[in-house]
């Protein structure tokens, strides 16, 4: 498996962890110093990101990752892709499509997401 293939697999694990809605699964793919900028411009640290995606009014159903482009340089990877998010907000089904950029780092042979940016909505 190439470094790029391993990173693509990590990106899919993150998408699956979002859809599963389990905090521990999502934390496992996020670096402890993780930061995320949402399509609304909100900035989250790891704890706030996990909480906002696993507790409260947002329920994930699926995240589809498409048009994935991966660049690996040493132990750093940058992923650009299009995602389609299928979620439930306050009982209403919604879908959102947007570009996403993620920065990943490999430590001890394991990829974790260090940072990401979503949006704008398409």
Sequence-distant contacts of 27-31: CB under 8 A, at least 24 apart: 29/112, 29/113, 30/112, 30/113, 31/105, 31/112, 31/113, 31/114
| Structural domain boundaries, residue 53 | 3-118
Confidence of residue 114 (pLDDT cuts 50, 70, 90): very high
Question: What's the pTM value of the predicted model, to 2 decimals?
Answer: 0.94
Q: At 74, which CATH number?
A: 3.10.450.50
Overall domain count for the chain = 1
CB half-sphere exposure, 62, CA atoms < 13 A? 7
pLDDT digits 0-9 by tens, 7-34: 999 999 999 999 999 899 999 999 999 9
Tokens of 61: 């159903």
């Amino acid at each position: 498996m190439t470094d790029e293939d391993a990173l693509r697999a990590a990106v899919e694990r993150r998408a699956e962890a979002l859809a599963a809605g389990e905090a521990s699964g999502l934390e496992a793919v996020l670096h402890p110093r993780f930061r995320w900028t949402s399509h609304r411009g909100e900035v989250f640290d790891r704890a706030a990101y996990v909480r906002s995606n696993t507790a409260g009014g947002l329920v994930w159903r699926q995240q589809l990752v498409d048009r994935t482009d991966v660049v690996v340089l040493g132990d750093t990877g940058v992923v650009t892709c299009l995602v389609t998010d299928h979620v439930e907000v306050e009982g209403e089904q919604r879908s959102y499509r947007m570009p996403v950029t993620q920065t990943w780092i490999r430590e001890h042979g394991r990829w974790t997401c260090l940072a990401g940016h979503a949006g704008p909505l398409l």
